[in-house]
Chain A
Amino acid sequence: ETGVTQTPRHLVMGMTNKKSLKCEQHLGHNAMYWYKQSAKKPLELMFVYSLEERVENNSVPSRFSPECPNSSHLFLHLHTLQPEDSALYLCASSESWTGGYEQYFGPGTRLTVT
């Protein structure tokens, strides 16, 4: 295991639902990330947090809303999603968002929007 956990592992939601994805890292890292992984496409960086402050919002639609209450926890709040938002959502952490530090990934949440 990488020290990064994500819940739930699978989620099916309708377009009018509201749900949240949770990520927790046990590595003492200062930076956390949300990525979207779609089939046959490179990973897309969605959000970056450093010490609970958002560093980057990578032109993500407002139906995705991140929250970082402390350096160990990261949430992604979802509402009124579209079918094209179905994907694997990966959380990652690293010692710092600068420098040559590798990122450690959680197992992901497989999201299906119906």
Chain B
Amino acid sequence: AQSVAQPEDQVNVAEGNPLTVKCTYSVSGNPYLFWYVQYPNRGLQFLLKYITGDNLVKGSYGFEAEFNKSQTSFHLKKPSALVSDSALYFCAVRDRDDYKLSFGAGTTVTVRA
């Protein structure tokens, strides 16, 4: 069985401040990990993924995430948030021996000017 937890329903930050969105996962084997973002009335957009190799993954729009196997975490980060980063963020995990992608419930990010 696999699952994803996003412990914060909402994250509020001021523009220019660092942004962190937390994600922890549970899989029986080795994971593939993904972050997606959803803007109002839109589908999900792929941001970045961890497959193998370097634990620090860089993605679109200045986002990055760090895979931490011992803590089973894959937190999303951005050094300096923009108002346009305000959206709903989803973490997702897939066991390498499975095909099903499991999503977290999502974290709403609000960046105030």
Contacts and interface: CB of A to CB of B under 8 A. Distances in A.
Contacts of A55: 99
A66 interface: no
A98 B43 contact: no
B51 A100 contact: yes
Contacts of A48: 99-100
B102 A97 contact: no
Between B32, B43, B46, B96, the greatest number of chain A beta carbons within 10 A of the residue's beta carbon is seen for: B43
Most buried by B among A43, A90, A98, A105: A43
A102 B45 CA distance: 10
B45 A105 contact: yes
Interface string A20-55: 000000000000000000001111010010000001
Contacts of B103: 42-43
A43 B90 contact: yes
Interface residues of A, number: 24
B14 interface: no
A107 B41 contact: yes
A105 B44 contact: yes
Contacts of A107: 41-43
Contact of A104 (B46, B96, B101): B46
B87 interface: no
Given A92-B44, A100-B32, 18 more contacts: A2-B43, A2-B45, A4-B43, A6-B43, A42-B103, A42-B105, A43-B90, A43-B103, A45-B101, A56-B100, A58-B100, A92-B43, A97-B99, A98-B99, A100-B49, A100-B52, A102-B34, A105-B45
Interface of A: 2, 4, 6, 40-43, 45, 48, 55-56, 58, 90, 92, 97-98, 100, 102-108
